Structure 1
Amino acid sequence: MAKVYEQTMSREQMETMLVPYLENNWTWGGGKVESSSQTYFYTDEAKTLGLYYEQGLTGQRASKIGICFKGNNYHVFELASNTTFEIEITDTAMIISFKSGSNSISASDCDKIIICNGHNTNTGEDEQIMIYLGSKSSSNVSSMYASDVATPADVSEQNGNANVNARTTNLIPLYNTNSAFITTDVYKSLCEDIGAWYFGNVIVNDKAYRMSGSVFALDE
């Protein structure tokens, strides 16, 4: 069953709680690299892809979180002093959901950074990839970061709590127009047989998943 960690943190607590949790509860292929106030958790030995975190200073600058890819940072979000994180970890995937400036988090009102497995439909190669996904009321996009991506591209995604109250749940791999990779252990729903998105453990077609709003991570 997925390991779940939900916590509202002050800016100071992010350094003492969030960073150690990420370091100790996930295997980072490229390790952790610290530089001044910045921390990078790399998924690959070449250090081309990873999670970016910058510790803020009270009254001076906000903390930040985002994705580092081939030397640049993407989808970087400023984190208010009180930010709630929901971190869901299965055997093969980690979903980091966060809501800045809030003492609570909703599956239909947050941002997500996902680490999961991907399969290249052209070459047949498999690797660990990263995805950003917005799960808010409107204007949501996703972006995929994989070895074949030259320039990351945002693609439109459904609004929070869209396509619920369906008579069935339909899941498809996450994909992107700028990559041949598709996900193999994390899926997004086209429609769901529920009243509203939520965080929880579910069974679909006799398979166990960790449901993180519209995202379903295999949890077997």
Structure 2
Amino acid sequence: MEEIKFFKPSEPYGEFSNFYYTPVILLNEIWPTVEHYVQSIKFEDVNLWDRIKVMKAPQDVANLSSKLQHKLRPDWEDVKDAIMLKAVKAKFFQHHRLKKILLETGDATIIQHNPNDNYWADGGDGTGKNKLGLILMHVREQLLEISKDPDLILPPWIMFPNNDRGGMFWNMGWGEDYIMEWSRFVDQFGAEAYRNLFPEPLDWEGTYN
């Protein structure tokens, strides 16, 4: 089976790195990268969250977090895998281009190749647990359950399930750009055919009319 290894955002498949600059919406807030979100949620101090969120470089975020290990939430070891899954899922569900890249890996084994990390990565020699790689493959399976077509743009209630239909998110920036792209796609695909794949939930009733 093919193996896909990734590490730095600037290298092949760098989109899989938590340091890759892609915003995610979680807890009704926009986080610059997955790294910003995960490193913030390690702590219970929301003031620290605000401090981390405005930091530009994900590496600086990671460095700050490593200096604050004494402030970690007491249940971090129990919840860290679930938190990482939530963040990675948001990243690949909320960005069509990244979803497409992940789906096009097929059934390849995805490995974070980092000699400095034996938990989220392979430790550099394959002895690490590669938890991030396993999570990416799990998210890939979740996407495949929805559709095997990497070019299919998912509807807003799947991509952004926590954003209310009437919210301001859809009228500005990222949300507005997505709605326009999705609407064009649905028109080209055919509204009825698309609706058969993705019937609108009650909160989005009348979307295709």
TM-score, length-scaled by structure 1: 0.23
Rg larger in structure = 2
When you count strand as a share of all residues, which structure comes out higher? 1
TM-score, length-scaled by structure 2: 0.24
When you count helix as a share of all residues, which structure comes out higher? 2
